[in-house]
Structure 1
């Protein structure tokens, strides 16, 4: 089994939050996540208003995939080469570029002056630093706590995502879309980056090899090859994310079609997921005695069951309950995965590996969205959900086999920098 170093589980959330600098960064991260959550609901609804002659599934696919393309290119460049951007600088660059362009797109949409190509191109450029910036937030926050506080820090980042991105944000986006032009959510998302920008400007993280952008001798790929556990986890997460993506395309069409809902309905469904994920994230610490391999595989199987239940959704309330259960199941996945990866890395290995690892796992999003659009167009909304569920179920056996027997023993040091993980 995979066993994260026992010391990494000793800190509580409250102990991490007592550090004012960490709390400030987490607060900025939470507010930003609310804005990102708002456009989960608003972007598909805005796309449905402006897609013109482009088939709706293909238009949604293009809009949803656009923020990942250039962001993935930059993240892979950092992970595969010796290029380093200090995490603090990455956060600032992301806030400035994304905040400004999202606000501009929002104003165009509110004036009914936006077109599908403008929206796609704007999201493409705005998100150049998004992936690197998100990885940088995790690097900075976890660098500001000792190793025994990492699981709690990662858990707080996961709780922020669950509460803000999936519980509060989509509901806000749905309400804004219902009472105003969906473009206002883009304006809100741009403005939500201000607090994170202020925190990044003021706070000086520790100057270690993982956060200060110093030259690191090995590329992320080389380190990944040396530590097989990180590579195996990357493959599992990539597949999990890839097979999930048709859900993001099918869900708004499911709401507008068979469920006969509106923007608020879509927001409520995502909020159901967020509330479940929030509860799951808060309870993550209670799962610390479970074998991580079995836990991660169970989450993958549980999520597949949730998507299967969505294929037979008769009403919006039913879909809300199903996504609530889905959020509850999924929430522990990211904190456990990232803590397992960080436990086997030396401080100066963190940025290249986590950036490459995040890029590799996130690369599944644009690929899944690009493939998901034609898939849903070809087999229909319920058919797309069914394919997503079956592919996720098929991931369970290779995931269990790939992670079997690879452990980080509690007696080992906090990182393994020169030998394979066994």
Structure 2
């Protein structure tokens, strides 16, 4: 896959952009705690974490549920431009000491308008360039990018930047990452020769033709929903229970990323396993992670627990997306993938909105335990929901994939127009 310059360039831009976003996992809670004022800490963190999802969810739902089609390249360019301008402005205000909590929330709300549409567009552009035979590999590489950048390089660098220069400087790095992705998109993804194909029906109507995929989306929604309180609890858990600062939070996210990086690297070896039991097992093993965190007050043990959590969770998204995209016509990819991404991600603001009051009442360790226990209760529901039959066997491709070399040698007439 990486021998194709278009795919390699887009994946490199995606990687570097995600590093900046990963730095914000550490920087934004620290920034929030420095200016929350009279707002309770957990509530303030929840507001800041949820803000980027609100407008972006509305836009993505309009694309996934409606009939209007915007080329993925256009959406990704818009995301990069708006994100770079907005986050650079927030960085200037933070460095100048003029940033307030309402301004930060408003900036994240507006600057991330195209976040979900841009995220699904990255996947669509990369997988369409790879073709059907290379889809599983590219989804795995995107997962590898995300885990390395968001949970290893980004948080570790974020901890260093916050400790040495201040949280505001991480906003500049994220703005710079968006500009790099913009350059990669303009250079590696040509303009579509024709308008995007209009599918028959909305993304939800198309998704309903594959009942197992629709039910799996419901499972993923609640899986993500029950995870989100962890993001609210973690900064307070690090400073309170572990007695560590920003660097400790960075190392904790880095441990998750290290485990997830290894898990993502092994995704290709899992493609021939029974995928439904694998997905259920991932949910159960991940549920033990926040419970394990709550039971320890030692940073080293916490790093090990979170690293194992990343290892078991990493294969979930690549396998789920590869299953989803298999069997869809080219014109059906954008509304369905955008709707799936939105449905899976809309759990984030809802979970964060619940997470703030929950952590405020139960405390950081109590919230971690509750998140794990509720996720364990999801296990029998998940096993029942994804047990039904679907075209093909398990979640595998209906037909054996061609070799990657065959994809790279396909004729130009058969290349996807959106790439």
Taking only aligned residues, the RMSD between alpha carbons, in angstroms, comes to 1.6
Cα deviation, residue 206, structure 1: 8.5
Cα deviation, residue 146, structure 1: 2.1
Structure 1 segments unaligned to the other structure (5+ residues): 1-15, 415-422
Runs (4+) off by over 6 Å:
none
2:282 to 299, 307, 318: 299
Aligned to 1:213: 196
CA distance in 1, matches of 2:127, 2:146: 16
Aligned to 2:296: 313
Query: In the alignment, is residue 132 of structure 1 matched against residue 117 of structure 2?
Result: yes
Cα deviation, residue 283, structure 1: 0.8
TM-score, with normalisation over the residues of structure 1? 0.92
SS in 1 for 2:227: helix
Which string of whole-angstrom CA distances, capped at 9 and with x for unpartnered residues, describes residues 111-133 of structure 1?
A: 11100000000000000001100
Label 1:22 to 1:370 Cα distance change in 2 as closer, same or farther (>3 A). same
2:126 to 122, 141, 144: 141
Query: In the alignment, is residue 154 of structure 1 matched against residue 139 of structure 2?
Result: yes
Query: In the alignment, is residue 116 of structure 1 matched against residue 101 of structure 2?
Result: yes
Aligned residues: 398
The answer on whether the counterparts of 1:234 and 1:360 sit within 8 Å (CA) in structure 2 is: yes
SS in 2 for 1:193: helix
The answer on whether the counterparts of 1:98 and 1:190 sit within 8 Å (CA) in structure 2 is: yes
CA distance in 2, matches of 1:204, 1:185: 28
2:183 to 182, 188, 198: 198
Which string of whole-angstrom CA distances, capped at 9 and with x for unpartnered residues, describes residues 124-183 of structure 1?
A: 000000110000000000000121111100000000001111100001111111112101
CA distance in 1, matches of 2:126, 2:189: 11
Query: In the alignment, is residue 51 of structure 1 matched against residue 32 of structure 2?
Result: no
Aligned to 2:354: 371
Aligned to 2:55: 70
Aligned to 1:176: 161
Query: In the alignment, is residue 388 of structure 1 matched against residue 388 of structure 2?
Result: no
SS in 2 for 1:17: coil
Which string of whole-angstrom CA distances, capped at 9 and with x for unpartnered residues, describes residues 358-409 of structure 1?
A: 1111000000000000000011111111110011101111111111132332
Cα deviation, residue 196, structure 1: 1.0
Which string of whole-angstrom CA distances, capped at 9 and with x for unpartnered residues, describes residues 42-62 of structure 1?
A: 000000000000000000000
CA distance in 1, matches of 2:103, 2:295: 36
Query: In the alignment, is residue 288 of structure 1 matched against residue 294 of structure 2?
Result: no
The answer on whether the counterparts of 2:210 and 2:390 sit within 8 Å (CA) in structure 1 is: no
Instruction: Please give the residue correspondences for 1:405-420 in structure 2 after superposition, counting only pairs within 5 Å.
Output: 405-409=388-392, 412=398
CA distance in 1, matches of 2:141, 2:57: 25
